[in-house]
Amino acid sequence: MKSVIICDMEGVIQEINKGALELFGYEKDELIGKKRVSIFSPGEIVIQNVLGWLEKANKEGKSLVKTNFLKKDGTQFNAEILITPNYANGKDQEQTGYCGITKEINEEVNIPINFITKIFKGIAITRGGFTLASILPMVIVAILLSQINSLSIINAIISIIGIVCLHIFGNVYNDYFDVKSGTDEVNNEYFNVGDKSLLLRGAQISGGSRAIELGLISLKETKSLGNKMLLLAIACIICVSTNIFLETNSFKNILGILIIGSIGSFLTYFYTAKPLKLSSRRGLGEIVIFLTFGPLLTLGSAFAMSNTPLDITYEALKDFILIGIPLGLLTTNILFINQFPDYTSDKKSNKINLVVLFGKKSSRWIYLLNLILIFLCTFYFIREISEFLPKFNYNIFYYSFSIIFLYGLYVFSGLFKYYDSRKLINYNIHTIYYQIIFCIGLILTFYI
């Protein structure tokens, strides 16, 4: 008997016959409505080939390929699969998913994994694309320092590398603890971008990276990778601190780095780690994200990148605190909208974030509140620093950011309408775009 599996557009298994259960070694209740068909393939093949196979099936009506599959016990075997688009309500209606008919074959099948795939594998494991949430605020701080001739280019480069390592440390440890605690195991409704975005193609935007589930990395290797990233971040701090002393002959900035770096590392680790597990404590997780990607990040960047000593006083650090507020809220909104698809699993695992606390329907307004605060704080920040920006043009700023604000309202309208639907994924994607556009827009206003 051939294996027949029907999945929806996101790969979630909807129907499976006896032949498939016998071939792959699962029970029916383990799969239906719970798992995605990606668990049957080695992770690197999923990253490199699957989207291409599906695109061919959509274009030509079918895709016949020979590949390697995995049984539940991890045994790999060679197979031929025929993939066809599925239209549950008739071909004149919208496509509902795919049908895969598989048979085991005795011939050798070797799918070479190219170098680009290995790069994408690393990005998938580390969720490296999301490090832009750290990099862009640091670029903004670097530009502010350059306006007052206080930027150390060397320290700026080393600092960005160090923060990227610390960000990845947080990402992989979040995966480690979520898998270990079972939070990811009960999450069957997570979002994957698939082919919905060229920039974020195939990216996992909720429910963790799923890298362990796909076999891209083991739980033990995930922890080891996190430790290595932390050591690299510490090495960058040592290099920056040494160069700061050489340039300023002062310990002021070094003290600022050590204080903020220690607080940031503590919050990053205990975001998902026991006993604090801040992400589960009634909104504390959102506050942690706001602080670490907002004021703490911009303040730490200022201390690390400045080639002049900075006094640890509000007046001296005010501008870096003020710009950190909207930047932190931007990242918080990315986390926040990603909590909507994870609502059921988060509630089951007692992960009490704001969406679980207030419910999906009421939580929509928190996103809008953050959006309004982002712009109010940005306008206040601009009024405070415009005198230090010789080329600053208020008219260009108000015009461009009015358009950006309207874009934000468009994203909110999608959340408002599709908060309890799989269609929300388009607005999760736009929330990521929104942060990038906002930061680039802010950078351009400093020069235009």
d(Cα 355, Cα 336) in Å, to the nearest integer?
8
pLDDT in tens, 301-316: 999 999 999 988 888 8
pLDDT in tens, 100-159: 999 999 999 999 999 999 998 999 999 988 999 999 999 999 998 998 889 999 999 999
d(Cα 38, Cα 53) in Å, to the nearest integer?
13
**pLDDT of 182 above 70:** yes
Q: Which of 25, 157, 9, 6 is nearest to 82 (CA)?
A: 6
pLDDT in tens, 37-56: 999 999 999 999 999 999 99
Looking at residue 1, what is its pLDDT?
73
pLDDT in tens, 430-440: 999 999 999 99
pLDDT in tens, 335-385: 999 999 999 888 988 889 999 999 999 999 999 999 999 999 999 998 888
Q: Which of 385, 243, 232, 249 is nearest to 304 (CA)?
A: 243
Looking at residue 203, what is its pLDDT?
79
Calculate mean pLDDT across residues 238-262. Answer: 93
Q: How confident is the model at residue 448 (pLDDT cuts 50, 70, 90)?
A: low
Element (H, E) at 110: none
Fold of 3-104: Beta-Lactamase (3.30.450)
d(Cα 381, Cα 294) in Å, to the nearest integer?
14
Q: Sketch the domain layout of the chain as residue ranges.
A: 3-104, 118-445
Looking at residue 164, what is its pLDDT?
96
**pLDDT of 294 above 90:** yes
C-alpha distance across the termini of the chain, in Å: 67
d(Cα 89, Cα 94) in Å, to the nearest integer?
8
**pLDDT of 390 above 80:** no
Looking at residue 126, what is its pLDDT?
93
Contacts of 313 (CB under 8 A, 6+ apart): none
Secondary structure letter of residue 191 according to DSSP: -
- The SS3 call for residue 353 is coil
Q: Which of 17, 275, 51, 301 is nearest to 159 (CA)?
A: 301
Looking at residue 193, what is its pLDDT?
82
Tell me the percentage of the chain whose pLDDT exceeds 90: 74
Looking at residue 391, what is its pLDDT?
67
**pLDDT of 388 above 80:** no
Q: What is the pTM of this model?
A: 0.91
Cis peptide bond prior to 309, omega within 30° of 0: no
pLDDT in tens, 189-236: 888 887 787 777 777 888 788 888 888 999 999 999 999 999 999 999
Q: How confident is the model at residue 19 (pLDDT cuts 50, 70, 90)?
A: very high
Average pLDDT value over all residues in the chain: 91
Q: Are the C-beta atoms of residues 193 and 429 closer than 8 Å to each other?
A: yes
Looking at residue 27, what is its pLDDT?
94
Count of CB atoms situated within 10 Å of the CB of 108: 7
**pLDDT of 176 above 80:** yes
Looking at residue 446, what is its pLDDT?
77
